[in-house]
Amino acid sequence: AEHRLADYRPPAFLVDTVDLIFDLDPKATRVRATLALRRNPAHGDAAAPLVLDGEDLTLNAVAVDGVALDAAAYRLGEHGLVIADLPDACTLDTDVTIDPAGNTQLSGLYVSGGDFFTQCEAEGFRRITFFPDRPDVMARFSATLVADEARYPVLLSNGNPVDRGAMPDGQAWVKWVDPHPKPSYLFALVAGMLVSVHDEFITASGRTVALGIYVRQGDEDKVDHAMVCLKRSMRWDEEVFGLEYDLDIFNIAAVGDFNAGAMENKGLNIFNTALVLARPDTATDADYLRIDRVIAHEYFHNWTGDRVTCRDWFQLSLKEGLTVFRDQEYGADTTDASLSRIEDVLRLRGFQFREDGGPLAHPVRPPAYRKIDNFYTATVYEKGAEVVRMIRTIIGADAFRRGMDIYFATNDNTAATIEDFVGAMHEASGYDFTQFMRWYDQAGTPAVSFAGAYDAEARRYTLTLRQATAPTPGQAEKAPFVIPVALGLIGPDGQDLAGTIDGETVAGTRVVLLTEAAQSFVFTDVAAAPVPSLFRNFSAPIRLSGYDRAQLAMMAAHDSDGFNRWEAGHEYAVQVLLEAIAAHQRGAGFTLDDGLRDARAAALDQAAAAPALAARLLGLPGASTLADRMAVVDPDAIHAVLTAARRAIGGALQARFQAIYGQTAYDGAFAVDPASVGRRALRNACLAYIMAGDEAAGIALAQAQIAADTTMTESLTALALLVDTTSPARDEALAAFHARFQGDALVIDKFFAIQAMSSAPDTLARIEALTRHPDFDIRNPNRYRSLVLAFGYRNALWFHDASGAGYDFVARMTLAADQVNRSVAARGMEVFADWKRYDPARQDKMRAALDRIIAANDLSPNTREMAERVRHAD
Ligand code: ZN
């Protein structure tokens, strides 16, 4: 069944309170629920029946106002329970039994490592008890958890523990009450043999919040970082948005089996272990950064998500786009702002632009869905964040902050819409957002081009900008977007020139709004012919074209905007490599472009002063970036050219890479401060080029780097480089790594992932073998992702092997995974999304793989929706 935004109707009944009693047992947990129900006048039909969602529940009893109903008084179907002829207010009691140990979907209440956890967003609560499982029903919850005290000493839920007791049979119970009304998707329960680390946070107004992080025994030495991040996030939200935490307790629990990254349940966030646990020898610097962001993201949801939630799931970006924007701002404020923006934009382009350009394209607010789980996408999250950022760019930071205050004041404790958010921004700024709303409702990435004309005599510069957006599924015609263009005019000496527009003279960066398909902006009092530096700090999620290489080289050297300085060098490299790919396809050999080499040499000049930036500048555009820019993607040519370029640069600058590699050796201290992270990034970048230019030297250094056993950042990069070779050092290093980290699930995930991403010629045979490795478990989402999705997403060379074996591998694994976990299996269809961008032979093979999946009789609706969208859109 398809759900449509246009069909929204308020619920027939509201739930004021819900009191839950859980008798926790892995195979048969009994859940008793008492709901205080009240007819909702806004629904319109005063005789409407009560519709309760329910899935995989065994109903034991149901009663209204204390009177048991017999089977004739309700209708029990596959999707829930319907009760007609209810009074306007009543109390409903239900009693159900569920099977948490058999819940391999990991949605609702399930068992992981013998402990109990929940995941209720988006529609998991209906797998716990009968309930109007929709976010516009906000209720006050209590939860009493009863369990065997020896096996489940820790019993957690949302809010505060108000009472507890023991029973003669070895059972104990705890009652939790959450004072804040919330939708069912924010309910959480954790029960098990967990250890915890505690700290406290004093809020700006002086209240003490008890912080706890709950993990499995043996992991308690891996939570310090998460705790630091949590406290930093709490402070940041007070300082930047004036938002204080609103309960006395904030708990985080980590679970090894989890469909997503983490979940913002009120007062009890539940995290994938991968996004909590970190120790220098087991987690990379990238992991540390990601953990910081996700801890912040989930914490920030307390206001943007929990206090103000979503009216319906079409509004998902209301909380996710806004919260990603907030975690991005936190990242920019607490680390390097330009580098952090660069990483965020690379992520947007790598996932969202790709999504927006293919059959899975959908607006930030999708108009329809079959399974909402399939819409936790880069568009809803990352593009949604860009849309919020554009609002701030257009109305200015002060008005934006006032708009946030108005948003909370107006919508606190409600389930809101995107209109409510934009309305608050309008109220704060007076800006008319009518045209801007297209960013929420039109899919596709606008292509922007430019032309400049300088009239020396009149000292006038005319900049003409054009926008066009290609059709996307279901949207043939696109109206122009409002595009904020942050720009500067760079003079011949590399400095920003002053210029006057609309009576205002600005010397640095200014913002103009492109609202038409084509529009000219006239700047007067411009002293010389400028190079326009457009979309500084990536002021809009668009594709820009039009610079020539001389302009790019000059911007890469001089642009006053840190993002655009990197962007110019990156675009230069893309253009050079695309040309090399075309040459390769004609049978010509590779010649190293001087500018490409010189830019890497210039990055090395900055290595001592700014190691992290230098590492970023040393890199080359990735295979997916190049694929994105080709009319017909040729994965073999891309790989050949990237390999040749790395080898040529590694050869040309070998001595310098070796020298800097030597200077950046481990200094005996591990820290995640920017200087240390930068040093390691630089050292690893050098090692990769040393390896590319001189494999024997590289292998020896990589082996020594692993043997030094300093940090996971250094060990894993060295191992990954060895895994790209066929040298005997590869298997020795893999075996040693496995032996060293056996039993540490998150590190074993890395062991799988680096092999899945390998470019070595025997990769396909080796990943087949890995599916039979004793550590491979298709039921564990992290392990599945580290083998199958790492391969599909990040190994273009072998996924697209001309034999079709890579497609066949992902198709077979998807069908197998679909039997145990449909939401994880469905995501795998994304790797086929751009199948029409390949040559006919590959298209045939990808289409055949998709058809095989679609033909499976017992395919889940989740995977079916994704596979059909990918297969049939035009
Ligand atoms: Zn989120």
- pLDDT tens digits, 254-293: 999 999 999 999 999 999 999 999 999 999 999 999 999 9
pLDDT at 671: 84
* Cα-to-centroid distance, 319 and ligand 1 (Å): 7
Nearest CA among 180, 110, 177 for reference residue 145 = 177
List the structure tokens of 602. Answer: 């210039």
- Which parts of the chain have pLDDT scores under 70? 874
* Cα-to-centroid distance, 475 and ligand 1 (Å): 27
pLDDT at 874: 61
CB distance 481 to 543 below 8 Å: no
* Cα-to-centroid distance, 402 and ligand 1 (Å): 23
pTM of model > 0.95: yes
pLDDT at 653: 98
* Cα-to-centroid distance, 120 and ligand 1 (Å): 13
* Cα-to-centroid distance, 375 and ligand 1 (Å): 12
* Cα-to-centroid distance, 559 and ligand 1 (Å): 34
* Cα-to-centroid distance, 190 and ligand 1 (Å): 20
The one catalytic residue among 121, 123, 298, 329: 298
What's the CA gap between 469 and 445, in Å, rounded? Answer: 6
pLDDT at 220: 98
What's the CA gap between 616 and 206, in Å, rounded? Answer: 42
CB distance 520 to 497 below 8 Å: no
* Cα-to-centroid distance, 399 and ligand 1 (Å): 24
122 CB neighbour count, 10 Å cutoff? 20
38, HSE (Cβ side, Cα atoms, 13 Å): 12
* Cα-to-centroid distance, 298 and ligand 1 (Å): 6
* Cα-to-centroid distance, 322 and ligand 1 (Å): 9
CB distance 54 to 79 below 8 Å: yes
* Cα-to-centroid distance, 247 and ligand 1 (Å): 20
pLDDT at 353: 98
2 is annotated as an active-site residue:
no
* Cα-to-centroid distance, 377 and ligand 1 (Å): 11
* Cα-to-centroid distance, 362 and ligand 1 (Å): 19
Produce one character per residue of 654-668: b if its CB has 16 or more CB atoms within 10 Å, e if not: bebbbebbeebebee
Q: Which residues contact 540 (CB under 8 A, 6 or more apart)?
A: 386, 390, 446, 448, 483, 484, 485
Q: Which residues contact 467 (CB under 8 A, 6 or more apart)?
A: 446, 447, 448, 480, 481, 483, 514, 517, 518, 542
